[in-house]
Structure 1
């Protein structure tokens, strides 16, 4: 997959694509349906298939101090897009200039002159332009005037009881600790990644050495203990693990940290980029009366994780 970080001054070879347009945070089943539609149209037209999204996320642009909300890092997003067969990723800079464009200016300057697209696929509720002045009707009309096809996709969901698959719904599930439902909507376990950092190294003292990751701008799920799987740098193997996501109240911790204890493993991985995917919720975070009580509970958590993974 080729990534282009602007819509201006593109080469001819980087234009003429069929694109799926949106934010694509999570690349969940709904997003995947939009991407599959774009791929089918691209195959019919003999054109490359790409994704157009905004950098930074518009929500972060308008509310820079809002709590973390992203479902995936750019690194994980690129991995998943590659797996989905995306050929071109257009990261459209969301800046003051773009914010002031109305729907006509956006279609003309970004989609037509800039990206030179042949066709665009969006969700049927897509809004764009200054103050979201544009909708699917204006997009269809403005694109038709420029020879650009438009396909609007209906929401995708399990059924009426659970509603549509959406990034908002996935965040809600994670905040409830419902990683099973989040996994269903995503079509894969929710995954975080980052560089292993040195912490207080208390876990090593208690014979539970952990790999510590800050979540950065990723959404913070329900605090507690989880069964997870960990993939080390340059490996494909997912290793059974148990993780604590929280503020470490027993030892006076500050800030939310993901601490992952990899089962049947004892290597120094400080400084490595690792991936952690969430499999099941074990219990809520709790404050214990001292390190002995904490250690005893950690042993119970480990035993529970081993049982879930079928390990001795």
Structure 2
């Protein structure tokens, strides 16, 4: 997959794609439905498949001080896109100039003369342009005038009672600790990745060393203990682990972080890139009376993780 971080002065070889247009945070089942339609059209036209999204996310642009909310890092997003057959990722810079474009200018400057797309696929509720002045109706009309096809996709969901698959719904599930429902909506376990940071090494004193990660701009899941699996960069194996998310109240921690203890593993991971995928919620975060009480509970949590993963003690 080739990533392009501009819509201006592209080579002819980087134009002419069929694109799915949106934010695509999470690349969940709803996004995949849009992408699948785009892929079918691309194959029919003999054109490459692309995704157009905005960098930074418009929400972050308009609310720079907002709480972390992303569902995936750019690295994980690129991996999933490649697995889904995307050939071009167009990261459209969201700046003051783009913010001030109305629907006509956006279609003409970005989609037509910039990216030179042949067809665009969006969700039926897609809004764009300054103050969201554009919608699917205006997108269809403006693109038709420039020889670009438009397809709008209805929201996809599990059932009328549960609503659509959406990034907002997945964030809510994670904040509730419902990693099962989040996994269903994503079509894969929710994943956090990052370079292992050096911590206070308290876990080593009780024979439970942890690999510590910062969440960055990722949404914070419900604070507590989870069954997770870990993949170390350069390896394909997913290793069983138990993770704590939260502010570590027993040791007066403040900043939210992810602490992962790999089961039956004793290698040093400082400075290494790892992926952590969430499998099951065990319990909520709790402050213990002493470090000894915490140690006892951690041992129970590790046994619980082994049971969930079907591992012998």
Q: TM-score range by the shorter chain?
A: over 0.9
**How many angstroms apart in 2 are the aligned matches of 1:49 and 1:257?**
37
2:53 partner SS: strand
Q: Number of aligned pairs?
A: 312
Aligned position for 1:6: 6
For 2:178 and 2:27, locate their aligned partners in 1 and report how far apart those are by CA, in whole Å: 18
Query: Mind listing any 5+ residue stretches in structure 1 that lack a counterpart?
Result: none
Aligned position for 1:231: 231
Alignment partner, residue 291 of structure 1: 291
Counterpart for residue 52 of structure 2? 52
Counterpart position of 2:310: 310
Report whether the alignment pairs 1:109 with 2:109.
yes
What is the TM-score with the length of structure 2 in the denominator?
0.99
- Residue aligned with 2:245, SS: strand
Partners of 2:181 and 2:151 lie apart in 1 by 29
In structure 1, C-alpha distance between the alignment counterparts of 2:142 and 2:245, rounded to whole Å: 48
- TM-score, normalised via structure 1 length: 1.00
- Tell me how far apart the structure 1 counterparts of residues 216 and 206 of structure 2 sit (CA, whole Å): 27
Cα separation, 1, equivalents of 2:305 and 2:88: 40
User: What stretches of structure 1 move > 4 A for 4+ residues in a row?
Assistant: none
Note the 1:81-96 alignment, pairs <5 A: 81-96=81-96
Once the two structures are superposed, residues 195-237 of structure 1 have per-residue CA deviations (whole angstroms, 9 ceiling, x without a partner) of 0000000011111000000100000010000000000111111
Q: What are the ranges of 5 or more consecutive residues in structure 2 without an aligned counterpart?
A: none
Output the CA distance in 1 between the equivalents of 2:197 and 2:206.
18
Residue of structure 2 equivalent to 1:202:
202
Distance 2:66 2:132 in 1: 20
* Aligned equivalent of 1:265: 265
CA drift of 1:191 comes to 0.2
Measure, in 1, the Cα distance between the counterparts of 2:278 and 2:42. Answer: 34
1:76 Cα offset (Å): 0.1
Q: How far apart, in 2, do the equivalents of 1:87 and 1:47 lie?
A: 10
- Structure 1 residue 254: Cα displacement: 1.6
Task: Report the counterpart of residue 18 of structure 1 in structure 2.
Answer: 18
Question: Secondary structure of 1:134's partner?
Answer: coil
- Counterpart CA distance in 1 for 2:189 and 2:214 is 19
SS at match of 2:283: strand
Q: How many Å apart are 1:75 and its aligned residue?
A: 0.1
| CA displacement, residues 102-133 of structure 1 (integer Å, 9 cap, x when unaligned) | 00000000000000000000000000000000
Q: For 1:159 and 1:72, locate their aligned partners in 2 and report how far apart those are by CA, in whole Å.
A: 25
The residue number in structure 1 matching 2:42 is 42
Instruction: Give the whole-Å Cα distance in 1 for the aligned partners of 2:310 and 2:116.
Output: 53
